[in-house]
Chain A
Amino acid sequence: MSFRQKHLWISIIASVAVWGWYFWVLIRHVVAGRLVSDQFTGEVSRAFLGALVVVVLVEVGLTVLATATTRKSERDARDEREILASLKASHVALMALIALIFCVSAGAWLAGLLDDRLVRGAAIFSITGEMLVLLANVLLACLVLAELVRAGVTLMFLRRVR
């Protein structure tokens, strides 16, 4: 496995583990009805900062390990194939991110419209409490998903041309 592939696997595993934990905590908070609590924003912010620190530490630690187990000549050489795979994956990730943002925005707008006009806070999608913190976290989930798509597609292209 090349250094670039190791780095991509590190990124995927660290993201899935750390951000998976973070969104699991967030979902549990929302399901438990803590969205209306005064402590919700503080608790979620602490979990977010914790996840950010852990993901950086895990990625740095594993990258150092991958560096130590890869020859220097392999680390420095970034061939044409790797560059093209990375550029193609960015294209797919950009399209995925635009589509996700569009779906989130359209969903939020439609939910708001239905809530205002029809159900007035009585439906399952009616959000009371820290709506913007929740929306910000949905956007964060979109960014994490797009990064996973980018890393996954790069790996797929690297394997295909091998």
Chain B
Amino acid sequence: MSFREKAAWISLISGVVIWGFYFSVVWSRLVALPGAWPVALFVECVIASLLVQGLLMGLAALRTPADQRSLSDEREIRIDGRATSLGYAALTGLVLCVALASPLAVGMKFDGLAIASQGEAATIMGQGLLLAIVLAEAIKSAVVVVLHRRSAA
């Protein structure tokens, strides 16, 4: 497995686990109190994400020869570019959805989450934007993994 593929797996798995945990906690707290945003949990998840990714990338770098770590291969540059392009398109679409849905969400109820005011909707909009960034990064990493697997087959 190439260093780039390892890096994509690390980013994908750590992102899904850490931010999956964050959004499950945030959802339950928002249902109880729609305007509340657990800032401390967000900061903890950012730190955890940086630490876990830094540690695992360090381990992956140690187990990979130095000449294989940089993006020197034409095939890897193309894979990285295609994944980034798809991630960008996904983020654009998701941000547009969040922007259009948020003003319409006031006064609505979703699976126990009742949005009564603009302030509450703004908090949920912020979470929606964070989710959009996390999803776009996960899509980017998943595309890198898929394209590497496909080209290796």
| Tally of contacts, chain A with chain B, CB under 8 A | 89
The contact size tier of chain A is 20 to 34
Residues of B with C-beta under 8 A to A41: 103
Say which one of A21-29, A59-67, A69-77, A82-90 lies at the interface with B.
A82-90
Q: Which of A105, A132, A140 contacts B129 (CB 8 A)?
A: A105
Task: Name A's interface SS.
Answer: helix
Contact call A131/B118, Cβ cutoff below 8 A: yes
The contact size tier of chain B is 20 to 34
Contact call B92/A146, Cβ cutoff below 8 A: yes
Q: Residues of A with Cβ closer than 8 Å to B?
A: 41, 83-84, 86-88, 90-91, 93-94, 97-98, 101-102, 104-105, 108-109, 112, 130-133, 135-137, 139-140, 142-143, 146-147, 150
Q: Residues of B with Cβ closer than 8 Å to A?
A: 37, 77-78, 80-82, 84-85, 87-88, 91-92, 95-96, 98-100, 102-103, 106, 118-119, 121-122, 125-126, 129-130, 132-133, 136, 140
Q: Could you list 24 A-B pairs, sorted by A, with CB under 8 Å? A: A83-B78, A84-B77, A84-B78, A84-B81, A86-B81, A87-B77, A90-B81, A94-B84, A94-B87, A94-B88, A97-B88, A97-B91, A101-B129, A105-B126, A108-B126, A109-B37, A109-B126, A132-B103, A132-B118, A132-B121, A132-B122, A135-B125, A139-B98, A140-B96
